Amino acid sequence: MTGDKIKIDDILGKEIEIIGYKIGDSKQKVGTKVLTLQFRLSGEERILFTGSNVLIDQVEKYKGEIPFLATIKKVNKFYTFS
């Protein structure tokens, strides 16, 4: 996956275009999954890494819609696409 790495908190509330993703085993927390999300922000390709189960479930649900526009929001203690 190409693009500069960015922190999820840096894009909260901004519209992004999801262009790809990969789900793998986390090296940080054994037994959990990590989502590598590839997207465009202001015309630039970027990637982020997250262990958010909600985002993992949502990207799997809408994988047939890629590319799609979304905004990541933080609701209480979890992240979600809106």
pLDDT band of residue 1 (cuts 50, 70, 90) is confident
> Which domains occur in the chain, in start order?
4-81 (2.40.50)
Cα 22 from Cα 13, distance rounded (Å): 22
Instruction: Determine the pLDDT at residue 28.
Output: 85
The bridge status of strand 68-75 relative to strand 78-81 is: antiparallel
The phi, psi pair for 40, rounded to 5°, reads -110, 135
- pLDDT, one tens digit per residue, over 52-81 is 999 999 999 999 999 999 999 999 999 999
How crowded is residue 2: how many other Cβ atoms within 10 Å of its Cβ? 9
Residue 16 has a pLDDT of: 97
Residue pLDDT, tens place only, 10-35:
999 999 999 999 999 998 888 999 99
SS3 category, 30: coil
The tokens of 10 are what? Answer: 């840096």
